[in-house]
Structure 1
Amino acid sequence: MSAESVSSSTAAPPPPVRSPTIRFTAPDNRGGRSVILSQPGGYSAEILFYGAQVVSWKTEHEQELLFLSEKAVYGPPHPIRGGIPICFPKFFDEENMEGHGFARIAEWIFSPDTAFYPPTPDKAYVDLVLRHKPDDFQDWPNHKFVLRLRVNLGPTGDLTMTTRVKNVNTNGEPFTFKFAYHSYFSVSNIRATQIEGLQGLDYRDYLKDHNQFTDEADAITFGDELDRVYLNTPHEICIRDVELRRTITIHKDATLPEIVVWNPWEVDASSIADLGDQEYKQMVCVEAAAVETEITLYPNEEWIGTQRLSAKEY
């Protein structure tokens, strides 16, 4: 037997290929059951069944990219302050959080959806569905709908959320709704944070009676309360954390034409019960949305809205 054949036969087997994992958790004191998506590289995301809300999205170094208030309240009838709530079918100013609709305060169920495109094996994903509005929600007629969400975590940590809304009214009635991925991002210092990609665009200022203005700045920076809806926005918006030298990019499709930018600053933060007085310094909301543009669906019509989040250091 040759030395070459001996070496070949005694060589150590290659390490096993690690795959992404999906783990369902038991009920706990933070919003009940959840699902945790993980990638071998260390990336992870956690999604609650309550509100189908993403409450964690971490880098390969386990650094949290989403903001979640230390004073957040979990469970009906309260919305959770932070993460990525889904606003459907209504959207109002942040102080009136109950006006954001019932999707974020409803219990969703796990339901694999074959109508979604099949994910590649290197992605960890979960499908959730909401079919009914809460009995005590009176602000929307008793329409029949199916609201589905797929969350998937890619091998390099990209977090993709795809929502499908279908009108299943049997009485022939259309319905109209608004929608937002109400994303709270964690930042090191709001004064050292800037939003890029919205320069030169028109926006409605919710602090000035929804009047319309044009943004002439090179980037949005923060030195006071800000609550705006930018119109006809591009497909990519960047959140640059200057102190951390990190950029989070929102990649969105044309069915989400607007971007909401919000930070309550000191005075309003102190008046929000489930937000710490100083927590406004560590968060910014940048939301892919259709809130100035209403969506109307006739029976059997469907709307799909997708955002993909990516993060990198520079």
Structure 2
Amino acid sequence: MPVEELDDKVILTNPNDSSSKVTILKYGATIISWENKGEEKLWLSKAAKLDGSKPVRGGIPLVFPIFGKQKDSNHPTSKLPQHGFARNNTWEFLGQTNESPIIVQFGLGPENLSEETRQLWPFDFTLILTISLDDNKLNTTIEVENSGKQEFEFNWLFHTYYKVEDITDVLVSNLIDQNCFDQLIGESYIEKAPAISFHEEFDRIYKNINESKIIQVIDKGKVLYNLKRNNLPDSVVWNPWIKKSEGMGDFEPKTGYHNMVCVEPGHVNSMVLLPPGEKWIGEQEISIGGEIKVQSNIY
């Protein structure tokens, strides 16, 4: 069965290859597993809460309408929890829209939110998440519609946790010469590393990346993942390393930072202003394998 809906999740199976499947938790519309040819591609904490009691640690959580915590106390998003509410409310499964590749949709609107969240976020909106599973490829597309009479501002982020064998062998490429903000030291600068390597805690926001740039995750000369973006100009690259992992109760095993890296496309350096009746769409496409592509000095 290509699309199987259960009480708490939806499972997609590639009709061309039954060993390739995606599992989406209705809570947060979080993709918690992507098996490609029987091999898991996403990292999920062994302590991740999958019962709707808190956002999922791992997979692909959805960040909206604020990335992190709003620093401006007068902003409408200032009272929302970290990373907003999309990842900690139950989305509605809207069904299958295409057979090959398999495409399904999930929706979130004011009617799906708790009364408390509605008080904190009084705007009318509709989120439509489209997930497409194809051979060696996973697409996630978000459509944000302002269905009310007031404009609002928001951030969006696909908080993607990739599974890797050993983070110290991993490189993230094609971000050289990119403007970035290092969240650990609170400074902005131009990235000069030809490829990013990991030997300590890492938390940077890369800004306004040219859409022609394909961000690659490479392990010992082998391309693991290719990330293409549409209308998602920024990307967060994150690994919590030892101390941060130990401080997160839902991060297990504590050595799990060895086996994951987050490369998170989004619109987080600035906020999107969405007038009444308007729509905004962003997309990430993840593909597996292929050749190393060296892209530098693209502006």
Q: With the length of structure 2 as denominator, give the TM-score of the two structures.
A: 0.87
Q: Are the counterparts in 2 of residues 39 and 157 from structure 1 also a CA contact under 8 Å?
A: no
1:307 aligns with 2:284: yes
**Aligned in 2, Cα 1:218/1:54: closer, same or farther, shift over 3 Å?**
same
* Residue 3 of structure 2: aligned partner: 22
Name the CA distance, whole Å, in 2 between partners of 1:80 and 1:126.
21
* Residue 130 of structure 1: aligned partner: 108
1:147 aligns with 2:127: yes
User: 207, 214, 238: which is aligned to 2:216?
Assistant: 238
Count of residue pairs the alignment pairs up: 275
**Residues 79-158 of structure 1: matches in 2 within 5 Å?**
79-92=55-68, 98-112=81-95, 119=98, 121-132=99-110, 133-137=113-117, 140-154=120-134, 156-158=135-137
**SS of the residue 2:11 aligns to:** strand
Name the CA distance, whole Å, in 2 between partners of 1:296 and 1:111.
27
Quote the offset at 1:300 in angstroms: 0.5
- Which amino acid is the alignment partner of residue 23 of structure 1? E
- The structure having more radius of gyration, on CA atoms, is 1
In structure 1, the gaps of 5 or more residues are: 1-19
Percent of pairs identical after alignment? 30
Name the CA distance, whole Å, in 2 between partners of 1:131 and 1:153.
24
**Residues 50-61 of structure 1: matches in 2 within 5 Å?**
50-60=27-37
RMSD between superposed Cα atoms in Å: 2.0
C-alpha offsets along residues 154-181 of structure 1, whole Å, 9 cap, x if unaligned? 1x23111111000011xx3100000000
C-alpha offsets along residues 205-233 of structure 1, whole Å, 9 cap, x if unaligned? 11112x21111111000000010000111
Which structure shows the bigger proportion of residues in strand conformation?
2
**SS of the residue 1:266 aligns to:** helix
* Residue 21 of structure 2: aligned partner: 44
**Aligned in 2, Cα 1:139/1:234: closer, same or farther, shift over 3 Å?**
farther
**Aligned in 2, Cα 1:64/1:126: closer, same or farther, shift over 3 Å?**
same
C-alpha offsets along residues 216-270 of structure 1, whole Å, 9 cap, x if unaligned? 1110000000100001113321011228x342011111x2100100000001110
Q: Are the counterparts in 2 of residues 44 and 157 from structure 1 also a CA contact under 8 Å?
A: no
* Residue 225 of structure 1: aligned partner: 201
Q: Are the counterparts in 1 of residues 12 and 133 from structure 2 also a CA contact under 8 Å?
A: no
* Residue 6 of structure 1: aligned partner: none
User: 143, 146, 149: which is aligned to 1:164?
Assistant: 143
Q: Are the counterparts in 2 of residues 161 and 307 from structure 1 also a CA contact under 8 Å?
A: yes
**Aligned in 2, Cα 1:77/1:91: closer, same or farther, shift over 3 Å?**
farther
* Residue 77 of structure 2: aligned partner: none
1:33 aligns with 2:9: yes
**SS of the residue 1:262 aligns to:** strand
User: 228, 236, 256: which is aligned to 2:232?
Assistant: 256
Q: Are the counterparts in 1 of residues 129 and 140 from structure 2 also a CA contact under 8 Å?
A: yes
Q: Are the counterparts in 1 of residues 3 and 10 from structure 2 also a CA contact under 8 Å?
A: no
User: 252, 255, 260: which is aligned to 1:283?
Assistant: 260
Name the CA distance, whole Å, in 1 between partners of 2:81 and 2:165.
28
Please list every run of at least 4 consecutive aligned residues from structure 1 whose deviation after the TM superposition is greater than 6 angstroms.
none
Name the CA distance, whole Å, in 1 between partners of 2:223 and 2:45.
21
Quote the offset at 1:112 in angstroms: 4.5
